[in-house]
């Protein structure tokens, strides 16, 4: 299990004693922030990051805390400038600290995925969406569900499952079912029963949220 903030401090990730510096408020450039995140998420300690950037250790610590705990919506408002993708790489302990922080605070995981430079499903699997699909298979064939969700996404633009869950469902139907031909057409050109199913799925999703 990832460490709590207190445990992280004890481990030296955010050790106040070794990071003290009175010049911690020097303004940050976007390129410095991006390099800081790249180094930290790859596993670097704040002291090393400060050395790499020629920054004050205290400033690095505070900047990382702003992202880890989304202070003043720092993580939510963040837009990558020059970053290194971490898609598919093994999670580092520093990444796990940030993930746990966001989960505990119920912060938007999509924003964290942007900070971590990862796909959302890597840090927040859509288990709810997968359960939804599994339940819906009891009321409609898989191909109909794929077509309905495609209609919801492309025509109504109100998806109710994640892209990853939809892509997996679609790939399964193409590989093991009869969906290749049906999915070759336009999302708009679907039978009336697919539109009715789409409406049912959206209404059902709204009802389940209330």
Question: What is the per-residue pLDDT for 29?
Answer: 92
What mean pLDDT do residues 167-179 have? 84
- pLDDT tens digits, one per residue of 129-142: 878 888 898 999 99
Max mean pLDDT range (19-23, 129-133, 186-190): 186-190
Q: What gap in Å lies between CA 199 and CA 44, rounded to an integer?
A: 49
List alpha helices for 16-56, DSSP H: 16-19, 30-41, 46-53
**DSSP string of 116-180?**
HTS-HHHHS--HHHHHHHHHHTTTS-HHHHHHHHHHIIIII---SS-HHHHHHHHHHHHHHSSHH
- pLDDT tens digits, one per residue of 34-87: 999 999 999 999 999 999 999 989 999 999 999 999 999 999 999 999 999 999
Instruction: Indicate yes or no: pTM above 0.85.
Output: no
Q: What gap in Å lies between CA 142 and CA 39, rounded to an integer?
A: 43
Domain boundaries, the chain: 5-123, 127-209
Closest among 36, 69, 40 to 55, alpha carbons compared: 36
The length of the chain in residues reads 210
Q: What gap in Å lies between CA 69 and CA 154, rounded to an integer?
A: 34
- Helices 142-151 & 163-176, crossing angle to 10 degrees? 140
Q: Give 3-state DSSP helix, strand, coil % of the chain, rounded to 5.
A: 65, 0, 35
């Amino acid at each position: 299990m990832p460490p709590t903030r207190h445990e992280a401090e004890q481990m030296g990730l955010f050790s106040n004693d070794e990071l003290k510096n009175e010049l911690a408020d020097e303004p940050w450039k976007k390129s410095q922030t991006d390099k800081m995140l790249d180094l930290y998420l790859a596993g670097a300690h704040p002291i090393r990051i400060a050395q790499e950037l020629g920054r004050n250790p205290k400033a690095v610590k505070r900047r990382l805390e702003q992202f880890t705990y989304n202070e003043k919506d720092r993580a939510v408002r963040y837009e990558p400038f020059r970053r290194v993708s971490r898609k598919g790489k093994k999670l580092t302990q520093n990444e796990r600290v940030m993930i746990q922080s966001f989960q505990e605070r119920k912060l938007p995981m999509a924003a964290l995925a942007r900070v971590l430079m990862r796909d959302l499903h890597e840090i927040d699997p859509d288990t709810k969406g997968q359960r939804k699909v599994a339940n819906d298979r009891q009321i409609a064939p898989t191909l109909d569900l794929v077509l309905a969700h495609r209609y919801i996404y492309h025509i109504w633009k109100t998806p109710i499952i994640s892209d990853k869950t939809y892509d997996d469902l679609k790939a399964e139907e193409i590989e093991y079912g009869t969906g290749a031909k049906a999915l070759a057409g336009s999302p708009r050109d679907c039978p009336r029963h697919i539109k009715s199913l789409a409406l049912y799925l959206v209404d059902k999703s709204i009802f389940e949220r209330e």
